[in-house]
A and B are shown apart, each in its own frame.
Chain A
Amino acid sequence: MSYGLRYLGRRFVRAILLLIALSFLCFLFTEMAPGSFFDEMRLNPQISPETIAALRSHYGLDQPLIVRYGRWMRSALRADLGYSIAYNSPVTPLLWSRAKNTVLLAGTALLLTWIFGVPLGVWTAARRGGFLDRTVSFACSFLLSVPELIIAIGLLAIAVRWHLLRVGGMMSADFESFSPWARVQDILVHLALPVSILVLSEIAIILRHVRTSVLAELGAPHVQAARALGIGQVRLLFRHVLPVAANPAISLLGFSLAGLLSGSLIVEVVCGWPGLGPLLLEAALSRDLYLVIGGILFSSLFMAGGYLVADLLLLAIDPRIRNDVAEEN
């Protein structure tokens, strides 16, 4: 399996290069964007420009780009992602505490999307042209067409108007006084709305892909042959169709995992879920440089990891790809 190791090695190197390129581009972009963190203070007639200039040099914001990038690189290699100007504290713990919340939200949504999406996709493919298939397809087209933003705002308005779900935040005000079971319940209640939005936005894609690949497989010669031999529908699906249809589904899983940290930005901002999204958006708008870069790299790390996991899974499961990789190496 040495080709496997070499493949892994190449992917790893590519991931590192990606991270370096990303970090430099982030620095460059934030440098080019006009304005700095302390501009908000300029509008206050009572603060002098000397104080603002002093604060800027205090945080090293007046150094040239290369110097700042070099210093940041050196500390990043020691896993120290710098200092947030707004919070006056290190970036890494800030990101870590929020990333946990995002993973909870996105992970739950991912789980639910797959739990509902895959069976539905298989079912509608098996009963192609039926009533269920047509309604589900229509619903999918509809959901795919509506931008996530509109789904989020629409569901939010419905939830508030009819007091259906807890709106906003992750915990109630007196969370600490709850028993452990009540705490879990409280978080679940708060999760309901943002998870619904995410699931509705994503399920259509999964459903479609699963349906298409299962349909393609159902029409394949070996499946036709099996059916002619008298093998029942259910066994046909599980034994012959699914293992092959799994390939694109696993790539999709990889994509979903990759986008775990970054895909829920809009939902978090609209619902007030305390994840990475609102933190990074505000940091980007206020030019809190190191927090933005740290956050982007965090997400990219996840992304690279997700793609890698997907590729590894594919390598393990699909023999065709194993052969291709062996050939290339």
Chain B
Amino acid sequence: MKLIRLSLHVCFFTAACFAAAPAPDAAKPGEELARVANVSGRYGGHLTIGQRSEPKTLNPVTATDAISREVIGRLMGDLIEINRSTQQTEAALAKSWEISPDGRTFTLQLRKGIRFSDGQLFDADDVVFSFNVYMDEAIDSPQRDLLIIDGKPIVVTKLDRYAVRFVLPRPYAAAERLFDGLAMLPRHLLEKPYREGHFAQAWSLNVQAGEIAGLGAFRFKQYIPGQRIVVERNPYYWKVDQANQRLPYLDELVFLSVGTEDAQVMRFEAGETDIVSRLNSENYSLLSREKSRLGTQLADMGPSLEYNFLLFNLNDLHEKKLDGVAARQAWFGDLKFRQAISAAVDRDSIVRLVYGTRGAALWGNVGPGNKLWINQNLPHPPRSLDTARQLLKSAGYSWNSAGQLQDPAGRPVEFSVITSSSNTQRMKMATLLQDDLAHLGIQVHIVPLEFRAMVDRVFQSFDYDAAIMGLGGGDADPNPEMNVWSFRGTSHLWHLGETEPATTWERELDQLMQQQMVTLDYAKRKQLYDRAQQLIAQNLPFIFLGTPNILASASSRVGNFHPALLDPYTLWNADELYVHGGATESAGVR
């Protein structure tokens, strides 16, 4: 009797768990759904994806780290999305929009009848509420700065139940790209915490499933501290496939906190995870050797949009007591010196040894991965130590009897390069660079620093000679790069805190960037940005080194696996992913 009762309990328990994933809701009349063309799949099953550490919060307004954003992005919906595959904007929660001729006013028409994941209706009130929260100074959301253009905020007004108007303080090129990543918040759940002043504590990881709702393909199900977070299908998701079946196909998506990339690969090989978002080339080669045994799908998407570079400290050091660095700035500030260094860098070896041939050399800030914006006419001079030596000679440098390079004043040329100790690829680049410059008689000291220590030196204390860093990769559009190239920009790393452009070319660069920001026509913007790239490549504020390819892998179970060059590389189409071979298969040991 006891045994029967026990087994009944077990059956009930198991059934309850398995019956948990909600079925997609039938389409209601008046619901305007978005149809995704050329997508088909089968319902059921779950996929597991590994993450470097666990997410810290589920609050889209306060989340700062990429891991939290990876999870939040599946739970939330945006007004306008950037399709990661085509890199163009697409209608999302806003079914259409009109731009006024002066480019300042956006009128968005929202889809009608859309529901949040808890069944409540979505309308313009939620949109206005969301933007108010983002722009609230008391909350200090990092996304607030996106909505402040020229120091003035964007003005959001509700026109009617399903229409919203945005007025920008001035025309902004590709303004619709701003909307991607600004999640629409449910007013019915978050207005109370917002008014009571504890919005930042809302939607932490301890949230109950009933307190959180969004417009994404999935909704929050469960969090186990230190281990995993489980999200389940949103039955009210507003996208359908080509057969008018409501997406997503998956019952559940599990985010497993796995650790380093190597640990991720190990567990992927063991069959515990189904997708690895980003691999380095060594792990990619490892997996491709095992490919026939495991049936893994591997994707090499080509060069990414990030750029790695050697940066020289050209900051104004008058007030700081950094005489050593200031003396060495005489070398760094000389364009011929930087050109010589650039000529001596062995970019081929960087691509071969650091990226395992899965990368591309860079001579400018836009690489071959960014097909829309790359200036194809920039020269790509091959490595030449002779050119480097000639350039140095013409700048007045000479070599002493021991082969060391000396500046015109007779001082031996010697400097240190800092880099983040946790980034193995940049450390390798530093070692290769050290050897390259040794051929020129320059002694380079490599100083691996802990990440935050390095950032402190580059942004605050300016106590460094040179650094190897990386930027970019966020979006293909030039606008997010404003702060790097504008002389007033806060990421103008080689010379921070300029109130006036320090050189004529910086002045021209700033003008070009400002102009392209307000030019709405793509062809004209491209022309301006081409000239900007030329200036950057000629004047070498950064000595560009290389960029890795985006590499990803998925197990044979995963269907519709189409990784992209923009983050999130593999989950941007999470709503389209499905499991081959049936719903009840689980990720077992292979």
Contact = CB atoms under 8 A, between A and B. Distances in A.
Interface of A: 33-36, 38-49, 51, 54-55, 58, 86-89, 94, 97-98, 101, 156, 160, 163, 166-171, 173-177, 179, 269-270, 272, 274-275, 278-279, 282, 285-287
A51 B62 CA distance: 12
11 contacts: A35-B452, A39-B455, A39-B459, A40-B65, A54-B137, A160-B270, A168-B259, A168-B267, A173-B228, A176-B222, A278-B226
A45 B365 CA distance: 14
A171 to B, nearest CB: 7
A88 B204 contact: yes
3 shortest A-B CB distances, which residue pairs? A35-B452, A274-B226, A45-B483
A51 B491 contact: no
B135 to A, nearest CB: 12
Given A46-B480, A88-B200, 14 more contacts: A35-B455, A36-B452, A40-B451, A45-B480, A45-B489, A54-B140, A166-B270, A168-B267, A168-B272, A272-B257, A272-B258, A274-B225, A274-B227, A279-B226
Contacts of A51: 140-142, 144-145
B142 A88 contact: no
A88 B140 contact: no
Interface residues of B, number: 69
Q: Is the interface of B mostly helix, strand, loop or mixed?
A: mixed
A101 B227 CA distance: 11
Contacts of B459: 39, 42
B227 A269 contact: no
A163 B452 contact: no
Given A46-B483, A88-B204, A39 B490 contact: no
B450 A285 contact: yes
B452 A168 contact: no
B453 A34 contact: yes
B175 interface: no
B569 to A, nearest CB: 18
Interface stretch (B11-19, B32-40, B343-351): B11-19
Contacts of A36: 452
A285 to B, nearest CB: 7
A306 B352 CA distance: 53
B142 A47 contact: yes
Interface stretch (B53-61, B91-99, B108-116, B553-561): B53-61
Contacts of A98: 225-226
Contacts of A87: 56-57, 204-205
B447 interface: no
A201 B234 CA distance: 48
Contacts of B272: 167-169, 173
A261 to B, nearest CB: 15
A86 B56 contact: yes
B269 interface: yes
A48 B145 contact: yes
Given A45-B484, A98-B225, A173-B587, A287 B266 contact: no
B583 interface: no
B56 A43 contact: no
Nearest to A84: B56
Contacts of A274: 225-227, 257
Contacts of A175: 224
A40 B258 contact: no
A243 B330 CA distance: 75
Nearest to A169: B227
A174 B65 CA distance: 27
B266 A168 contact: yes
Contacts, number: 158
A247 B12 CA distance: 54
Given A34-B461, A156-B266, A169 B484 contact: no
A175 B137 CA distance: 43
A275 B62 CA distance: 26
Interface of B: 10, 13-14, 17-18, 46, 48, 53, 56-57, 59, 62, 64-65, 137, 140-142, 144-146, 148, 200-201, 204-206, 222, 224-228, 254, 256-259, 263, 266-267, 269-270, 272, 422, 450-453, 455-457, 459-461, 469, 471, 474, 480-484, 489-491, 586-587, 589
A54 B142 CA distance: 10
Contacts of B64: 38, 40-41
Contact of B452 (A46, A97, A275, A287): A287
B259 A44 contact: no
Contact of B471 (A43, A171, A176): A43
A101 B226 contact: yes
Contact of B142 (A44, A160, A275): A44
A165 to B, nearest CB: 10
A97 B226 contact: yes
Nearest to B263: A272
B14 A89 contact: no
B297 to A, nearest CB: 20
A168 B263 contact: yes
A179 to B, nearest CB: 5
Contacts of B227: 169-171, 274
Contacts of A278: 53, 226, 259
Contact of A89 (B65, B140, B206): B206
Contact of B266 (A34, A49, A86, A160): A160
A53 to B, nearest CB: 9
Given A40-B64, A55-B140, A160-B269, A88 B59 contact: yes
Contacts of A167: 266-267, 270, 272
A44 to B, nearest CB: 7
Contacts of A55: 140
B252 to A, nearest CB: 9
A46 B256 contact: no
B7 to A, nearest CB: 10
Nearest to B483: A45
A168 B145 contact: no
A39 B455 CA distance: 7
B226 A173 contact: no
Given A163-B270, A272-B258, A46 B145 contact: yes
A277 to B, nearest CB: 10
Which of A34, A160, A270, A275 gathers the greatest number of chain B CB atoms within 10 Å? Answer: A34
B510 to A, nearest CB: 14
A20 B482 CA distance: 48
Contacts of B422: 285
Which of B13, B204, B227 gathers the greatest number of chain A CB atoms within 10 Å? Answer: B227
Nearest to B48: A173
Contact of B586 (A171, A173, A279, A287): A173
Which of A54, A89, A169 gathers the greatest number of chain B CB atoms within 10 Å? Answer: A169
Contacts of A169: 227, 256, 258, 267, 272
